[in-house]
Amino acid sequence: MTSVREPVRRFDHQHEHPHAHGGLSGESYAHVQGGATVLDIGGDVGALVATMDDDTIGTELHLRSEDRPLRGVHTGVWRRGSGPEAVTAAVFAELVAGSYWVLNEAGDATQRVKIRGGALASIDLRKKGPIR
């Protein structure tokens, strides 16, 4: 995985659920806590699984498209699976094919990921490397 830097461009998103716009915040919807995931992929739609550190559970991960017009999307970070195979992850179950920037807590673009239609992409955003 290659980390790519780009000049900072911010994307202000508009949506109905409450959270601070200065960075990631806790998700407030108890019904969305990492249950089974269904991916809606095919044609020009792909998906992304971002593996995260455990201390990010209950926060949100934000992406911004590289294509014009800029599109922002976010999803919750939850513990997924059970037992020793469980991981902390953000799952974007339906993304239009193209390049996206992962945004850090300040809203800065930090890493680029390519989404291909009909495919599942993955990115490891853990600070300490894979859990063994």
Q: For residue 130, name the pLDDT band (cuts at 50, 70, 90).
A: low
Instruction: Note whether residue 9 is domain-resident.
Output: no
> Residues 57-80: pLDDT tens digits?
999 999 999 988 888 999 999 998
Residue 103 lies in a domain: yes
Question: Can you tell me whether residue 54 is helix, strand or coil?
Answer: helix
Q: What's CA 124's distance to the chain center, in Å?
A: 11
CA distances for 80 relative to 17, 50, 52, angstroms: 22, 11, 11
Nearest Cα neighbor of 74 from 20, 128, 131 is: 20
Whether 105 is covered by a domain: the verdict is yes
Domain that holds residue 99: 45-124
User: Is this model's pTM higher than 0.85 or not?
Assistant: no
| Tally of domains within the chain | 1
- Residue 49 inside a domain? The answer is yes
Which CATH number do you get for residue 89? 2.60.40
**Model confidence band, residue 32 (pLDDT cutoffs 50, 70, 90):** low
| Mean pLDDT calculated for residue range 90-102 | 95
Domain presence at residue 4? no
